[in-house]
Amino acid sequence: MPNNPCESQNEEGVTEMQIILHAGDARAKCLMSLQKINEGSFSEAQELLNEANTEINQAHKVQTEMIQEEAKGNKKEVSLLMVHAQDHLMTAIAIRDMVITFIAYATMMDKRIKDLEERK
């Protein structure tokens, strides 16, 4: 094992970075989606949410492959980088779940407001 773990680019590190990359992109798209909700652009918010879902699915696919390898007996040592990757993925999923609720709520409230305005 090298003295500096950052010097080696092992397969586990690449895999973990893939999870971090996809989860980070998903989180960013979710936060952009929230901004679009705030602006009243619900279709753009939904589009960004769909893109976030694609990124989460990619990260989850990588994670599932790692789990399947472990189930086959190919256990890997849990590294700080893996913990970090899992943290990113869990955070992205939690934010995505909240954004789904926010879009539904904001869309419903927008419709109710428009209905009330039409009654005037």
- Cα separation of 113 and 120, whole Å? 11
Give, as one character, the DSSP assignment of residue 74. Answer: -
In degrees and rounded to multiples of 5, residue 8 shows phi and psi of -95, 140
Say which of 22, 60, 84, 88 is annotated catalytic.
84
Q: Are 76 and 70 in contact (CB under 8 A)?
A: yes
The question of whether 88 is a catalytic residue gets the answer no
- Cα separation of 70 and 75, whole Å? 5
Q: Are 55 and 88 in contact (CB under 8 A)?
A: no
- Cα separation of 39 and 103, whole Å? 12
Computed over its alpha carbons, how large is the radius of gyration of the chain? 19
Q: Catalytic residues, which ones?
A: 84
